Amino acid sequence: MAGFTNRDTWYLGRRMLGEIGILLALVLLIGPLSSPAAPAEKSFTFTAQRTVVPIGSGLSYPAWTYNGTVPGPLMRVNQGDRVTITLTNHTTDAHGIYPHAAQLNDENFAGPPGIKDLSYSFVAQVPGVFDYHCTAEPVLDHIAEGMYGMMIVDPKNGWPNGKAHDVMLVQGEFYGMPDNRGRLHLDHGKMVDGEPDFVVFNGRISNYGAAHPIPIKVGELVRLFFINIGPNLFSDFHVVGAIFSTVYQSGNPADALHDIQTLEVGPGDGAVFEFRVQHPGTYTFMDHAMGHAYKGAMGVFRATP
Ligand SMILES: [Cu+2]
């Protein structure tokens, strides 16, 4: 190269080193923010147990539970994680556990009665918000008695709209009227007919009423993870005073809808709802099938500046 001096080479070398340095710094800075989370091993252990659980309004019932609560514990993993689920059952009843995120055959999910551990693993391949529930027969009764919960599989590249205020709601039904001690007597006939006495969010009648609202902020993005465990009713989920900017059917970012007022979520399905409120105050959320709201599927967000 004519006219290219040693000094030019030195400057060129220095400039290249500088650019490589900047590139390295950028990779170090941006890499961890944008690269997907490395797949991990996630384990969840459940015990099937009969527990008397309070369901609000001074009422309770002897539930079949995972770890003593209705709904059972939240499972949250990243897309691509290997998930191991272990169920211990010391009761004389058969129980099992089926997360809808697991793409395995039926035999994995059912367990015999007695002291025995049921255990299996799967890779959470599809992002979304999923039901899990007992698979013992009659499944109708095992769900209606309380053996269910939510599993979130976060997308491997994160949620398209970034960070948000997460809220989790599980809609379910209770069948049976209380005695004079406030103890519900579960009614199999009503379960079969699909006529619940109570429709609830997160296992309690009129949970999150005016005395116990869910706090949110004006202008913040709320990301509401919702499943309808049923076992029978369809839910028409709505927030009074809000329009969902984005709804992900089944909680999958690939299945996005925009500017939605109400979404029907059938039993055994879920959705992720995103919205922002524009003014301080109270925003009621409900199953907009009004009979269901009347039976308890109603609560409020309280928005502050
Ligand atoms: Cu069960």
Q: Would you kindly state where each structural domain of the chain is located, as residue ranges?
A: 7-36, 41-154, 165-304
H helices of the chain, in order, are 6-34, 139-144, 188-193, 290-294
pLDDT at 29: 47
For tokens 């049921």, name the residue: 118
Same topology, domains 41-154 and 165-304? Answer is yes
Distance 146 CA to ligand 1 centre (A): 8
Distance 124 CA to ligand 1 centre (A): 23
Q: How far apart are CA 95 and CA 165, in angstroms?
A: 34
pLDDT at 15: 56
If pLDDT is split at 50, 70 and 90, which confidence band does 8 have?
Answer: low
Distance 96 CA to ligand 1 centre (A): 6
pLDDT tens by residue, 222-260? 999 999 999 999 999 999 999 999 999 999 999 999 999
pLDDT at 30: 46
Cβ of 84: how many Cβ atoms within 10 Å? 14
What would the two tokens of residue 228 be?
């309808």
pLDDT tens by residue, 93-146? 999 999 999 999 888 898 777 767 899 999 999 999 999 999 999 999 999 999
pLDDT at 27: 45
Fold exhibited by the domain 41-154: Immunoglobulin-like (2.60.40)
For the chain, first and last CA: distance in Å?
66
Distance 240 CA to ligand 1 centre (A): 36
Q: Is 184 left (phi over 0), alpha (psi -120 to 50) or beta?
A: beta
Distance 110 CA to ligand 1 centre (A): 9
pLDDT at 72: 98
Q: Note the pTM of the prediction, 2 decimals.
A: 0.88
Q: How far apart are CA 187 and CA 209, in angstroms?
A: 27
Closest CA to 222 of 151, 283, 263, 268: 283
CATH 1.10.10.10 fits 165-304, yes or no: no
Q: How far apart are CA 110 and CA 105, in angstroms?
A: 10
pLDDT at 28: 45
Q: How far apart are CA 87 and CA 156, in angstroms?
A: 27
For tokens 């979404």, name the residue: 263
The helices-and-strands tally (H runs, E runs) of the chain is 4, 21
Distance 269 CA to ligand 1 centre (A): 19
Distance 67 CA to ligand 1 centre (A): 12
Q: How far apart are CA 50 and CA 52, in angstroms?
A: 7
What would the two tokens of residue 49 be?
């147990």
Distance 142 CA to ligand 1 centre (A): 5
Distance 27 CA to ligand 1 centre (A): 50
Reduce the DSSP state of residue 262 to 3 states and report it: strand
Distance 277 CA to ligand 1 centre (A): 40
Distance 154 CA to ligand 1 centre (A): 27
Distance 48 CA to ligand 1 centre (A): 7
Asked if 141 and 175 count as a contact pair (C-beta separation under 8 A), the reply is no
